[in-house]
A and B are shown apart, each in its own frame.
Chain A
């Protein structure tokens, strides 16, 4: 009984507490850099597309709102032929960013992406791809991977020995 009265009192005391409400859009909050909003595709430090179309973001997506297709340029570099996010389905969970092995897909603090027509919520690669590196400045997947791409052959990636001459018997 006493506790009931106490809680009544405690709640009543809140009459004089300042509300927490932020009156968006007149007032705006400072969002953290890791806030999970609109999704972007970034480029590596050399200005090339980071996405290698590995499909891991798509499979991690709990609402299946990412679809893409692998393509390959003449140098053997994988990239997404198309990359589509249906933001009308996206729940901004950030699993795609967690799954991305190349830091290509990143979530940004921008969340203001309302549309009157739901069709406009479908973002294609040209809408997603930005010119910068996003949150991760230095990583370049292809400098670590063993694949040959234009300008990098076997043995030229980080921590790689030059290719073995298989026809020698020297130790």
Chain B
């Protein structure tokens, strides 16, 4: 194990900064979308509207904490915490910089995959517990979407694992000193990108909440802070996803001149921006298109990528 990982300062610092980043993303996303739509976005509360987040939080905290009488109450309350917790624990394996992180697992990548698939329980349970047809439809979509894209996500990053020969995220970063994996694994990256957008249920693949069809999908019945958990959970998911993409394909903390942590944060920030740009630019596909694309395009492409990577590796090293 690397030294300096997992001490209290790391744990506390990462927890706080991740939550703050996630919260600030609420504001960042609204401002960025506004910029790309030739608007200004929230600019009234505090400097540049930065305190908008605080205002929103105050609003959410003071909203009636309503639990529908027709719901499955225990599950209804638990569901939003699951997404929050899984996303947060996901950050445990992220290699922010040498010596900065919480834990260094040899199976770090698998751990991330496991947690990201766990988060779908939150959605499914929320949809089920709401006892509302829109919520249930949203949950069903979420389940099917996550289960499908899980497969390609796993397959798409196997190329990275083959190149680096490890599941340890820090070692994967180190393995990119000679070159970012985006270059040899470009197709893998594309597949992973699509898959992780689908996994985090972000626009344009936000079919589980598709407000035009399903009101608000799985969180239709949620309000107040329980809705807030879903909301922040989603931004945590974006941050986590960007961090993982950076780690796997963009060389993690590696970079010249600047300290590693800054490099990591910069790259992650660009990733996040890209997520927001995706939401601002692309329309949502139909559900059948999403599934068709996954199974008929991404799966063969992923397998092909794996095959080619394997063949090339074998031919080079074999």
Q: Give the interface of A toward B (CB within 8 A).
A: 4, 7-8, 10-12, 14-15, 17-21, 23
Within 116-141 of B, Cβ neighbours of A (below 8 Å) are at: none
8 shortest A-B CB distances, which residue pairs? A11-B281, A21-B40, A14-B36, A8-B281, A7-B281, A11-B36, A20-B38, A19-B40
Contact B37 A23 (CB under 8 A): no
Contact B282 A8 (CB under 8 A): yes
Q: Is B278 an interface residue (CB 8 A)?
A: yes
Known contacts A8-B277, A12-B277; A19/B35 CB under 8 A: yes
Within 34-49 of B, Cβ neighbours of A (below 8 Å) are at: 34-40
Give the distance in Å from the alpha carbon of A44 to the alpha carbon of B282 in the complex.
Answer: 56
| Contact residue among A4, A11, A17, A19 (Cβ-Cβ distance under 8 Å from B280) | A11
Contact A20 B281 (CB under 8 A): no
Main secondary structure, interface of A, reads helix
Give the distance in Å from the alpha carbon of A11 to the alpha carbon of B277 in the complex.
Answer: 8
Contact A19 B281 (CB under 8 A): no
Contact A15 B40 (CB under 8 A): no
Nearest-Cβ distance from residue A1 to partner chain B, whole angstroms = 9
Nearest-Cβ distance from residue B182 to partner chain A, whole angstroms = 16
The 23 listed contacts between A and B (C-beta, < 8 Å) are A7-B282, A8-B277, A8-B278, A8-B282, A10-B281, A11-B277, A11-B280, A11-B281, A12-B277, A14-B36, A14-B38, A15-B35, A15-B36, A17-B38, A19-B34, A19-B35, A19-B38, A19-B39, A19-B40, A20-B38, A20-B39, A21-B40, A23-B40
| Contact residues on B (Cβ < 8 Å of other chain), bracket | 10 to 19
Q: Which residue of B lies closest to A6 (CB)?
A: B281
Tally of A-B residue pairs with Cβ under 8 A? Answer: 35
| Contact residue among B37, B40, B278 (Cβ-Cβ distance under 8 Å from A14) | B37
Residues in chain B near residue A23, CB distance under 8 A = 40
Give the distance in Å from the alpha carbon of A4 to the alpha carbon of B190 in the complex.
Answer: 13
Residues in chain B near residue A10, CB distance under 8 A = 281
| Contact residue among A7, A11, A12, A21 (Cβ-Cβ distance under 8 Å from B39) | A21
Q: Which residue of A lies closest to B273 (CB)?
A: A12
Nearest-Cβ distance from residue B28 to partner chain A, whole angstroms = 13
Give the distance in Å from the alpha carbon of A119 to the alpha carbon of B199 in the complex.
Answer: 51
Residues in chain B near residue A18, CB distance under 8 A = 38
Residues in chain A near residue B39, CB distance under 8 A = 19-21
Give the distance in Å from the alpha carbon of A73 to the alpha carbon of B225 in the complex.
Answer: 63
Q: Which residue of A lies closest to B32 (CB)?
A: A15
Give the distance in Å from the alpha carbon of A19 to the alpha carbon of B34 in the complex.
Answer: 8
Contact A12 B278 (CB under 8 A): no
Nearest-Cβ distance from residue B147 to partner chain A, whole angstroms = 24
Give the distance in Å from the alpha carbon of A66 to the alpha carbon of B99 in the complex.
Answer: 72
Q: Which residue of A lies closest to B33 (CB)?
A: A11
**Most chain A beta carbons < 10 A, residue from B37, B38, B281, B282:** B281
Residues in chain A near residue B282, CB distance under 8 A = 4, 7-8
Residues in chain A near residue B277, CB distance under 8 A = 8, 11-12
Give the distance in Å from the alpha carbon of A15 to the alpha carbon of B35 in the complex.
Answer: 6
- Per-residue 0/1 for B14-54: is the Cβ within 8 Å of any A Cβ (1 yes, 0 no)? 00000000000000000000111111100000000000000
Residues in chain A near residue B280, CB distance under 8 A = 11
Q: Which residue of A lies closest to B40 (CB)?
A: A21
Residues in chain B near residue A17, CB distance under 8 A = 38
Nearest-Cβ distance from residue A9 to partner chain B, whole angstroms = 9
Nearest-Cβ distance from residue B34 to partner chain A, whole angstroms = 7
- Further pairs besides A4-B281, A21-B39: 15, Cβ < 8 Å: A4-B282, A7-B281, A8-B281, A10-B281, A11-B36, A11-B277, A11-B280, A12-B36, A12-B281, A15-B35, A19-B35, A19-B39, A19-B40, A21-B38, A21-B40
Residues in chain B near residue A15, CB distance under 8 A = 35-36
Give the distance in Å from the alpha carbon of A19 to the alpha carbon of B32 in the complex.
Answer: 12
Nearest-Cβ distance from residue B153 to partner chain A, whole angstroms = 19
Nearest-Cβ distance from residue B270 to partner chain A, whole angstroms = 12
Residues in chain A near residue B38, CB distance under 8 A = 14, 17-21
Residues in chain A near residue B35, CB distance under 8 A = 14-15, 19
Give the distance in Å from the alpha carbon of A8 to the alpha carbon of B197 in the complex.
Answer: 15
Give the distance in Å from the alpha carbon of A15 to the alpha carbon of B40 in the complex.
Answer: 11
- Per-residue 0/1 for B146-172: is the Cβ within 8 Å of any A Cβ (1 yes, 0 no)? 000000000000000000000000000
Q: Which residue of B lies closest to A11 (CB)?
A: B281
Q: Which residue of B lies closest to A20 (CB)?
A: B38
Nearest-Cβ distance from residue A17 to partner chain B, whole angstroms = 5
Residues in chain B near residue A11, CB distance under 8 A = 36, 277, 280-281
